[in-house]
Amino acid sequence: MKKATLVQLATIALIVSFSVNVSHAGGDDFNSVVKMIEQYYNVKHEGLSFLAKAAIKTMGVGAKIKGGSARQLAEAGSIRLAMFEDQNFTGDFMKFRSSLNDSLQDNWTPLVQTISSENAEQSYIFVKENGDKFSVLIVMIEKREGTVVQATVSAKSLALLMKDPEEGAKTIREEATIVDKE
């Protein structure tokens, strides 16, 4: 078998495993949050094809990290991503915030939560210990789009996030969702 074919097969396997991981990890907080957003705002997150694209993109970031240009997710164990694009996020954000906090309070510690009613933007960062690493769950909702990112990060990345929570969350989200800039 040619080397190029092997690489292609390996890529497909990685994409499939990533997508399956994102789509079928039933009963966990990431999926619960995605479902909660879907039910609360009556929206739908992107399907398999988009997730595959996201997987490629994530691998792209990984490659970039190896090259040494991006560092925040370098030590990350896994990234799970759900995106909502071009959809309508209208609803009482106070009720949403309360539901989100209630659903995560047993396992996660809220770090920072921001709401801008003027721009209809909400961001939530939750943290928990995960062995010798840490998990962060970031929910960002704007007027027409939303993102849920769960990432396992190293102590170094967590330190960055805690030093400047808003900037750190932005970095993690941007690195997990760079698609067209690559």
Partner 1 sequence: MKSLFQQPPRTLLLVAFLVMVSAFTTRAQGPRIQLNNLDHLAAKASDTVDVTIDERLIQLAAKVFNEKDEDEAQIKKLVQGLKGIYVKSFEFDVDNGYAATDVDLIRAQLREPTWMRILNVTSKKEGNVEVYLSMSGNDITGLAVLSVEPRELTVVNIVGPVDLEKLTRLEGNLGIPDLGVEAPKKKKNEQ
Q: Say if CB 126 and CB 104 are below 8 A apart.
A: yes
When asked if residue 114 is in the footprint of partner 1 (CB under 8 A), the reply is yes
- Using the rule CB under 8 A, which residue among 86, 106, 118, 180 binds partner 1? 118
- Tell me phi and psi for residue 158, to 5 degrees: -65, -40
Amino acid at 31: N
CB atoms within 10 A of CB 125: 24
Comparing C-alpha atoms, which of 68, 67, 71, 77 is closest to residue 18? 77
Sole window of 4-12, 58-66, 92-100, 141-149 interacting with partner 1 (rule: CB under 8 A): 92-100
Q: Give 55 or 140: the residue with its C-beta nearer to partner 1.
A: 140
44 alpha-carbon distance from chain centroid: 15
- Using the rule CB under 8 A, which residue among 55, 73, 83, 127 binds partner 1? 127
Q: Say if CB 124 and CB 110 are below 8 A apart.
A: yes
Measured CA to CA, the distance from residue 177 to residue 174 in angstroms comes to: 5
Measured CA to CA, the distance from residue 93 to residue 87 in angstroms comes to: 16
Question: What tokens does 137 get?
Answer: 């769950």
- Using the rule CB under 8 A, which residue among 111, 137, 139, 148 binds partner 1? 111
- Using the rule CB under 8 A, which residue among 116, 143, 144, 179 binds partner 1? 116
- Using the rule CB under 8 A, which residue among 6, 17, 156, 179 binds partner 1? 156
Q: Give 70 or 120: the residue with its C-beta nearer to partner 1.
A: 120
Q: How near is the Cβ of 30 to partner 1 at its closest, in Å?
A: 20
When asked if residue 89 is in the footprint of partner 1 (CB under 8 A), the reply is no
Residues of this chain, 9-68, that bind partner 1 according to CB under 8 A: none
Residues that bind partner 1 (CB under 8 A): 93-94, 97, 109-118, 127, 129, 134, 155-156, 158-159, 162-166
